[in-house]
Structure 1
């Protein structure tokens, strides 16, 4: 999925394979990401908001009802464990649960060094504002 207007991550989210009820999405964090300009000069770290954006964009790419239009309704949980650095390849394992508001997406985000974040978002039908 390409960059969405107004979103911080320039890289393309790639859809991986599915295993059981889990979908996998990937993003290679380019050293050229615009968010690195001025973010910890000399030791660039991919900001947590970019991990949220990655999960959201990945979720939109694999949402169980792709024929509908979805928007972010809530970030229910976000825990960050390790820094993400330029050149890291992110993998998010996304699992879905239907809820009254739409869909809840639980994501475990990892790199080669292990789990970097656990994020849970909720999508609601409708256009983004």
Structure 2
């Protein structure tokens, strides 16, 4: 799959909570001014498009998926809410929470920058063999 976002994902934390039975992770993504999407998205005042924030969450979720989930494929974007703009030079901090529901896996994400919350996203994944 080709992504419109060049930025690399960096897994900062990945852990399993025995008490809750949930996986959590933190992924960071540095948004550089040389991202191709900035070329036509408000050239005099570049803003990282919301769809690219969503793409950073998807890519972060997939690099930090639960170890026991097997190969997962995105089945649905259940919700997305953008709360502030993302600019060149920002570092996205993506807090991920994974929970299994039946065969599916739900991933809830909170995205922030140094200025505060930027978005919240809920994704649903299915195991490759369930598709």
Scaled to the shorter chain, the TM-score interval is 0.7 to 0.9
| Aligned residues: CA RMSD | 1.8
Task: Say whether 1:46 aligns with 2:48.
Answer: yes
1:101 and 1:123 in contact (8 A); partners too: no
Q: Any residues of structure 2 matched to 1:33-72 within 5 Å, and which?
A: 33-65=35-67, 68-72=70-74
Instruction: Give 5+ residue unaligned stretches, structure 1.
Output: none
Instruction: Give 5+ residue unaligned stretches, structure 2.
Output: 18-22
TM-score with structure 2 setting the length: 0.86
Provide the secondary structure at the position in 1 that maps to 2:58: helix
Q: Which structure shows the bigger proportion of residues in helix conformation? A: 2
TM-score with structure 1 setting the length: 0.88
Q: Structure 1 residues 41 and 53, CA, compared in 2 at 3 Å: closer, same or farther?
A: same
Q: In structure 1, how many angstroms separate the alpha carbons of the residues matched to 2:121 and 2:93? A: 13
1:28 and 1:89 in contact (8 A); partners too: yes
Provide the secondary structure at the position in 2 that maps to 1:54: helix
Q: Any residues of structure 2 matched to 1:1-129 within 5 Å, and which?
A: 5-18=1-14, 21-65=23-67, 68-126=70-128
Please give the per-residue CA displacement for 1:69-104, whole angstroms capped at 9, x wherever unaligned: 221110001000100000000000000110234210
Q: Which runs of 4+ in 1 moved over 2 A?
A: 18-22, 65-68
Q: Which stretch shows the higher mean deviation, 27-36 or 61-70?
A: 61-70
